[in-house]
C-alpha cells in the first residue's frame, strides 16, 4: 500500500507508527518486515496503552523505543543493526531511555543480541508481548530483560489492537500465528513458532468493530491462511476428526457478511493448501477482492522439492488454472526466490517459463539469502555465486515488469471501483486508492473522500500505477 509500507523485503521501507496523544509516557515504535509485524505492532501499542503509554512519531520525546524486527533475509537484519547505531548518541545523553528489540530478530538471536548490541535493554519475541510491561519494569531496576518464549496457543485474541495509522481505511486482522510448513529456506517457523488459529468469534468482533469505526477494508493475515482451522465447538469442546468447525473458506464467508461495504482481502495463500472451496467463496461475494497472492518461489519441480514446498510445477499450474476457471478476472501475484541452493541455468529457465505461462500481475522477487538453522542451511550449499543470483534476478524482474505493464494496459478504458485511501504521493490535488485487483489507482481529487468508493475510468498506466478520472462517487 502506497502510504503504508511494512515489508522490508517488499518495499524496502520501514514505518514509524503512531497515534498521537500528548500526555504521559511516550512510546516510539518502528516496524520492519511483513504485514504480520505491522499487525503485531498494533497489539504492542494496545498493551503499552494499558500501561499509560501513548505512541509518538517524534523520537526525541520517546521514553521507550521499540523496533519490531524482521529476519527473513540477511539484509533485513543489517538494516535494523544500522538503525540501532543511530540511537547511540541519544542513549549516551539519556541513559534512562529504554531501547527494545521485538519480533523475529529478538527470537532468533535471543540473549546474544544484548551482548552484540550493547545499547539494547530489552529483547521480546513475538509471543512475549503481554510481558512487555514487566520487562520494562525490569529494565527500570537497572537490569537487561529478555523473554523469547514461544507459545503453542498465544493468539492475542482478546487484545483490541490500537490502530496506528490515523483515520485509517484499511486494517490488518491476524487470523493465524506461526507456521508449520518448514520450507527449507525459511526462518519463520523458528522465529514465530508453531501454527495456531485464532477464535473466529474474536476475528468477527474485530472486523465489525473496524467497520463501525469507518474502516472499509480488512486484510486477513496468516503465514498460510489456507491452513486456518478452528476446532473448538460452541460448548468449548475440542472437536475430533478431520473436519474443523470453521475452516478458512467458512471464516472468510462470515467476514464478507459483516457488510457488503467492507472489502475483504487475505494473505498469504499457499499453493499446496488452497482449495476450490476457497475460490468459490471469493467468486460468490462481490466484496471479497479477486486478488490472490500465491507464492510460487520457483518454476522447477526439483528446486521446489529442495525447498520443501510440498507441490510441483504442475500442481502450481493446476491451482492457477483453477483460479482462472472459478474467478475469471482474478489478479494473481507471487513471490520468487532466485539462486536457491544448487539452482542450475535450466532450473532458472523453468522459473522464467512459468512466469510466461502464468503472467503474474505483480511479483515480489528476491535473491536467496541463507538463514542460520534452516533446513537448507543444514542440508545444502549456498553455491550460486552472488553475481549469478543478481543476473538471474534481473532477468526475472525484467520479465515481471513487462507482465505488470501488460496487465495494467489491459485495464485502460475500463471502469474500476476504487476505495479512496487519501492524497497520493505525487500531489495533494491527486488522491489514490486500490481497485479490487490490488492495483494502485491515482486520480484528480475533486470531490473524492477518504474511505468512500469511487468509479474511476482508467486512461493511462505505468507498470506500478493506473491513472484515471472519477466517473461516479458511490
Nearer to ligand 5AD, 104 or 113 (CB): 104
* Site for ligand 5AD contains 298 (CB under 6 A): no
Least distance to ligand SF4, CB of residue 161, Å: 21
Give the DSSP letter of residue 232.
B
Nearer to ligand 5AD, 135 or 363 (CB): 363
Least distance to ligand 5AD, CB of residue 228, Å: 18
Among 9, 56, 298, 407, binds ligand 5AD (CB under 6 A): 9
* Site for ligand 5AD contains 73 (CB under 6 A): yes
* Site for ligand 5AD contains 72 (CB under 6 A): yes
Q: What is d(CA 424, CA 451) in angstroms, rounded to the nearest whole number?
A: 14
Binder of residue 351, out of ligand 5AD, ligand SF4, none (CB less than 5 to 8 A by kind): none
In the numeric block, which cell numbers belong to residue 420? 479512496
Among 147, 297, 298, 333, binds ligand 5AD (CB under 6 A): 297
Nearer to ligand 5AD, 31 or 369 (CB): 369
HEC profile of 234-294: CCCCECCCCCCCEEHHHHHHHHHCCCCCCEEEEECCCCCCCCHHHHHHHHHCCCECCEEEC
Closest-by-Cβ residue to ligand 5AD is: 335
Among 220, 307, 337, 418, binds ligand 5AD (CB under 6 A): 337
- Tell me the C-alpha to C-alpha distance, in Å, between residue 259 and each of 247, 406, 424: 20, 33, 27
- Tell me the C-alpha to C-alpha distance, in Å, between residue 48 and each of 70, 105, 106, 128, 165: 21, 20, 18, 13, 17
Binding segment for ligand 5AD among 130-138, 145-153, 343-351, 368-376 (CB under 6 A)? 368-376
Nearer to ligand SF4, 219 or 224 (CB): 224
* Site for ligand 5AD contains 181 (CB under 6 A): no
* Site for ligand 5AD contains 377 (CB under 6 A): no
Least distance to ligand 5AD, CB of residue 335, Å: 3
CB within 8 Å of 348: residues ≥ 6 apart: 300, 338, 392, 395
Binding site for ligand SF4 (CB under 6 A): 179, 181-183, 186, 188-189, 223-224, 270
HEC profile of 146-214: EECCCCCCCCCCCCCCCCCCCCCCEEEEECEECCCCCCCCCCHHHHHCCCEECCHHHHHHHHHHHHHCC
Would you say 71 and 93 are in contact if contact means Cβ atoms under 8 Å apart?
no
Would you say 78 and 105 are in contact if contact means Cβ atoms under 8 Å apart?
no
Binding segment for ligand 5AD among 99-107, 173-181, 367-375, 461-469 (CB under 6 A)? 367-375
Binding segment for ligand 5AD among 54-62, 365-373, 442-450, 451-459 (CB under 6 A)? 365-373
Binder of residue 54, out of ligand SF4, ligand 5AD, none (CB less than 5 to 8 A by kind): none
Phi, psi of 139, rounded to the nearest 5 degrees = -60, -35
Amino acid at each position: 500500500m502506497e502510504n503504508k509500507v511494512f515489508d522490508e523485503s517488499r518495499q524496502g521501507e520501514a514505518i514509524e507508527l503512531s497515534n498521537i496523544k500528548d500526555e504521559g509516557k511516550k512510546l516510539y515504535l518502528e516496524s520492519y518486515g511483513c504485514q504480520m509485524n505491522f499487525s503485531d505492532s498494533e497489539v504492542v501499542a494496545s498493551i503499552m496503552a494499558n500501561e499509560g503509554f501513548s505512541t509518538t512519531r517524534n523520537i526525541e520525546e520517546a521514553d521507550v523505543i521499540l523496533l519490531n524486527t524482521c529476519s527473513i533475509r540477511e539484509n533485513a537484519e543489517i538494516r535494523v543493526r544500522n538503525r540501532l547505531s543511530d540511537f547511540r548518541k541519544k542513549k549516551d545523553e539519556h541513559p534512562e531511555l529504554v531501547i527494545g528489540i521485538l519480533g523475529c530478530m529478538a527470537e532468533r538471536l535471543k540473549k546474544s543480541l544484548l551482548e552484540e548490541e550493547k545499547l539494547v535493554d530489552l529483547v521480546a519475541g513475538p509471543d512475549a508481548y503481554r510481558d512487555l510491561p514487566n520487562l520494562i519494569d525490569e529494565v527500570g531496576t537497572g537490569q537487561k530483560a529478555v523473554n523469547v518464549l514461544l507459545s503453542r496457543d498465544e493468539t492475542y485474541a482478546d487484545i483490541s489492537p490500537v490502530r496506528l495509522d490515523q483515520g485509517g481505511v484499511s486494517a490488518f486482522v491476524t487470523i493465524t500465528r506461526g507456521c508449520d510448513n518448514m520450507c527449507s529456506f525459511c526462518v519463520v517457523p523458528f522465529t514465530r513458532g508453531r501454527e495456531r488459529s485464532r477464535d473466529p468469534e474474536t476475528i468477527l468482533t474485530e472486523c465489525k468493530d473496524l467497520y463501525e469505526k469507518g474502516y472499509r477494508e480488512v486484510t486477513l493475515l496468516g503465514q498460510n491462511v489456507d491452513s486456518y482451522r478452528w476446532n473448538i465447538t460452541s460448548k468449548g469442546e475440542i472437536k475430533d476428526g478431520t473436519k474443523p468447525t470453521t475452516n478458512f473458506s467458512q471464516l472468510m464467508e462470515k467476514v464478507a457478511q459483516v457488510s457488503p461495504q467492507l472489502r475483504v482481502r487475505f494473505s498469504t495463500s499457499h499453493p499446496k493448501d488452497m482449495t476450490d472451496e476457497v475460490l468459490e467463496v471469493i467468486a460468490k461475494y462481490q466484496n471479497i477482492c479477486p486478488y490472490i497472492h500465491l507464492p510460487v518461489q520457483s518454476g522447477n519441480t526439483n528446486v521446489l522439492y529442495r525447498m520443501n514446498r510440498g507441490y510441483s510445477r504442475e500442481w502450481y499450474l493446476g491451482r492457477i488454472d483453477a483460479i482462472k476457471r472459478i474467478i475469471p478476472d482474478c489478479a494473481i501475484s507471487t513471490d520468487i526466490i532466485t539462486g536457491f541452493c544448487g539452482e542450475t541455468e535450466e532450473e532458472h529457465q523453468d522459473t522464467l517459463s512459468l512466469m510466461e505461462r502464468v503472467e503474474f500481475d505483480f511479483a515480489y522477487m528476491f535473491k536467496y539469502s541463507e538463514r542460520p538453522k534452516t533446513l537448507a542451511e543444514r542440508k545444502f550449499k549456498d553455491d550460486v555465486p552472488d553475481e549469478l543470483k543478481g543476473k538471474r534476478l534481473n532477468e526475472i524482474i525484467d520479465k515481471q515488469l513487462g507482465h505488470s505493464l501488460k496487465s495494467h494496459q489491459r485495464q485502460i478504458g475500463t471502469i474500476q471501483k476504487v476505495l479512496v485511501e487519501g492524497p497520493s504521493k505525487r500531489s495533494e490535488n491527486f488522491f489514490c486508492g486500490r481497485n479490487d485487483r490490488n492495483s494502485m489507482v491515482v486520480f484528480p481529487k475533486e470531490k473524492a473522500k477518504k474511505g468512500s468508493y469511487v468509479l474511476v475510468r482508467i486512461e493511462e498506466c505505468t507498470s506500478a500505477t493506473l491513472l484515471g478520472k472519477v466517473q461516479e462517487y458511490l
